[in-house]
């Protein structure tokens, strides 16, 4: 019999925000352990109303069910376009015959962008992303403390007040609508932490000890993943989490995904406060906007941006 897989860590957000000093200390320790050991966790008691999330799922479904012509207005161009609607893994659809999904990617912070249809979508999305941003910023404070810094250190160093936040909505059509493979190739995300909420149709998997493990077992929870810049800033202590999506369920899968990064102008490298003779820098510093461009180019070539910035020492 193969040994049983240990469960994905669960972090209780309510302890991070409203608890005694001891509870906070414990949850910060748990958060650090989850980021170091797993690189991901499920976030429960996040305080974002289920009704708001359901409304977002319904509005997203409505968006993707508009006609092709209606969606054409929001078609993707460059990586920094504020509104990008496309299909497949790459903006240019190179992999569309490998794995299928449609997606809408919106820059929602520091400025908010959203399609003007369907009606009400933009207002709803603006409320939703404010709530997820608050949660993400609290988590970053916890991560900062777990690395031995003050809660506000990462916020200050990385200019998170004007941080770059995206809302990516992924739509994997039902088996009735689409007959091929639905999913997303293995990848890591840019930014510090990605928050992901799914509509009850499973599919997200993370690589753990060489095996793909499902992230869909905890109801009403966000999946939270370490992203590339938490790995860079922590000098490799909190590794960016490799993940993929495989949709086997017949139903339509919709996910609301928020990558949360530093401001576009921030040059981000390993925190100087973590470096010493025993811990030399493992990554080259790079401006966040340049990293985004580089990552897009390298993905097309089947490579990872770390191939260019990781130092062999
Ligand atoms: O939709 C999913 O299951 C995963 C989405 C994802 O990894 C992404 O948008 O970066
Ligand atoms: Fe991702």
Which residues make beta-bridge pairs with 104? 85, 169
Which residues make beta-bridge pairs with 256? 169, 197
107 lines ligand 1 (CB under 6 A): no
Query: CATH number for the domain including 300?
Result: 2.60.120.330
240 lines ligand 1 (CB under 6 A): no
Distance 103 CA to ligand 1 centre (A): 10
Q: Is the pLDDT of residue 71 over 60?
A: yes
Q: Is the pLDDT of residue 62 over 90?
A: yes
Query: 7-29 burial string, b = 16+ CB within 10 Å, else e?
Result: ebbebbbebbbeeeeeebeebbe
Residue 22 belongs to some domain of the structure: no
172 CA closest ligand 1 atom index: 1
Backbone φ and ψ of 30, nearest 5°: -65, -40
Residue 36 belongs to some domain of the structure: no
Mean pLDDT, rounded, for 54-67: 97
Q: For residue 89, what pLDDT is reported?
A: 52
Q: What is the count of structural domains for the chain?
A: 1
Which residues form the domain of 87? 50-126+152-309
Q: What is the pTM of this model?
A: 0.95
Distance 257 CA to ligand 1 centre (A): 7
Residue 1's pLDDT band, with cuts at 50, 70 and 90, is very low
Per-residue pLDDT tens for 105-143?
999 999 999 999 999 999 999 999 999 999 999 999 999
Q: For residue 302, what pLDDT is reported?
A: 81
204 lines ligand 1 (CB under 6 A): yes
Residue 57 belongs to some domain of the structure: yes
């Amino acid at each position: 019999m193969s040994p049983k897989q240990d469960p994905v860590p669960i972090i209780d957000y309510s302890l991070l925000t409203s608890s005694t000093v001891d509870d906070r200390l414990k949850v910060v320790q748990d958060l650090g352990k989850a980021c170091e050991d797993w690189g991901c966790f499920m976030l429960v008691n996040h305080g974002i109303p289920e009704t708001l999330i359901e409304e977002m799922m319904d509005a997203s479904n409505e968006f993707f069910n508009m006609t092709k012509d209606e969606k054409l207005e929001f078609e993707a161009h460059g990586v920094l376009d504020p509104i990008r609607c496309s299909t497949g893994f790459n903006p240019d659809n190179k992999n569309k015959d490998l794995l299928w999904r449609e997606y809408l990617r919106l820059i929602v912070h520091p400025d908010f962008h959203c399609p003007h249809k369907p009606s009400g979508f933009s207002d709803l999305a603006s409320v939703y992303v404010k709530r997820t941003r608050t949660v993400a910023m609290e988590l970053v404070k916890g991560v900062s403390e777990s690395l031995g810094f003050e809660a506000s250190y990462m916020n200050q160093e990385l200019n998170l007040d004007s941080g770059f936040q995206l809302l990516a909505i992924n739509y994997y059509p039902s088996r009735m609508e689409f007959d091929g493979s639905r999913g997303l190739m293995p990848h890591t995300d840019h930014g510090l932490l990605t928050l992901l909420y799914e509509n009850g149709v499973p599919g997200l998997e993370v690589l753990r000890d060489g095996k793909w493990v499902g992230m869909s077992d905890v109801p009403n929870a966000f999946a939270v993943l370490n992203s590339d810049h938490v790995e860079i800033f922590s000098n490799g202590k909190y590794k960016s989490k490799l993940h993929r999506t495989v949709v086997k369920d017949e139903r339509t899968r919709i996910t609301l995904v928020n990558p949360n990064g530093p401001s576009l102008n921030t040059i981000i490298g390993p925190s100087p406060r973590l470096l010493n003779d025993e811990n030399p820098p493992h990554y080259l510093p790079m401006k966040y906007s340049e990293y985004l461009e580089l990552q897009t180019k390298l993905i097309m070539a089947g490579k990872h941006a770390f191939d260019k910035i990781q130092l062999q020492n």
